[in-house]
Amino acid sequence: MQVSVLASGSKGNAVYVEMDGCRLLIDAGISATRIKKALAALDVDAATLDGVLITHEHRDHIAGLTTLSKWYHLPIFTRRATFAHMSCRAQLPVECLQPIEDGFRLHGVQIMPFSTSHDAADPVGYRVQGSKCMALATDLGFVTASVQAAIDGADVLVLEANHDPEVLKNGSYPWPLKRRILSNRGHLANSDAAWALARLRKQPEKVFLAHLSEENNRPELAQDTVQGILSRQGIALDFAVASQTETVSMVRN
């Protein structure tokens, strides 16, 4: 299994997952050219992707989708309401659209979408299960019981640690935006990510802290906050902080 976060943050998101020979892209929120180059740096031809999984319709998750689909005609999987609310919906090849509701299999890998609490039409995270398991949960205001269950047992977890509430409250964002981020349909705070990890019954081998705010967080602050809470619970995890500009990867045999 390989998990590579190609980009993560408010300017664009894309995660590459390879498991048991199945190659997936979760979100395409950066340019198709950048996705192609980032995959090439991993010795992966973008044309060999088996599918693109979209979490929700916000631009930082679909910005490169139109060009990517025109270049490679890849199957695109997401909820019907997400397709309906995409700004680029009319530009996507009809034959590429694969609406999903429940779990499905793709080249021997089980893919389970799970609902998240975010201000989008029908946002989801994904659990990808084969010989190993990875889960991705970003863009969520809080961790519901169903999200907690969906991320439990993952060998690799990509989890949002978007902001520090005090940094956000004292920052320059207008109050309506602050209120949106802090709401149950906004983004996950560092401490909330930590407590979600603390509640896991099975500890993952690797955790990527993802979707960090450039203004309301810092990589060292996110990691220190999460590790501090976990250490007080007697939990030690292997962390990496995802980047907006650089690929961060892990490979497990």
Looking at residue 133, which CATH number applies to its domain? Answer: 3.60.15.10
Tens digits of per-residue pLDDT, 47-86? 999 999 999 999 999 999 999 999 999 999 999 999 999 9
CB 127 within 8 A of CB 55: no
Instruction: Please check whether residue 114 lies inside any domain of the structure.
Output: yes
**Going by C-beta distance under 8 Å and a sequence separation of 6 or more, which residues neighbour residue 57?**
82, 85, 86, 87, 120, 121
CA dist 119 and 181 (Å) reads: 10
Structure tokens at 72: 């490679």
How would residue 253 be classed by pLDDT, with cut points 50, 70 and 90?
Answer: low
Instruction: Please check whether residue 253 lies inside any domain of the structure.
Output: no
**Cα–Cα separations (whole angstroms), residue 116 to 13, 156, 183, 208:** 17, 19, 13, 18
* pLDDT score at 252: 75
- Structural domain harbouring 63: 2-248
* pLDDT score at 127: 98
The pTM score is: 0.97
**Going by C-beta distance under 8 Å and a sequence separation of 6 or more, which residues neighbour residue 68?**
28, 32, 35, 46, 52, 74
Task: Examine the pLDDT at 8 and tell me if it is beyond 90.
Answer: yes
Instruction: Please check whether residue 100 lies inside any domain of the structure.
Output: yes
Residue linked to tokens 């990496």: 240
| R_g of the chain computed on alpha carbons | 17
203: helix, strand or coil: coil
* pLDDT score at 250: 87
How would residue 113 be classed by pLDDT, with cut points 50, 70 and 90?
Answer: very high
CA dist 171 and 61 (Å) reads: 25
DSSP string computed for 3-21: EEEEE-STT--EEEEEETT
Mean pLDDT, residues 23-46? 98
Domain tally for the chain? 1
**Going by C-beta distance under 8 Å and a sequence separation of 6 or more, which residues neighbour residue 81?**
121, 122
Q: What is the mean pLDDT of the chain?
A: 97
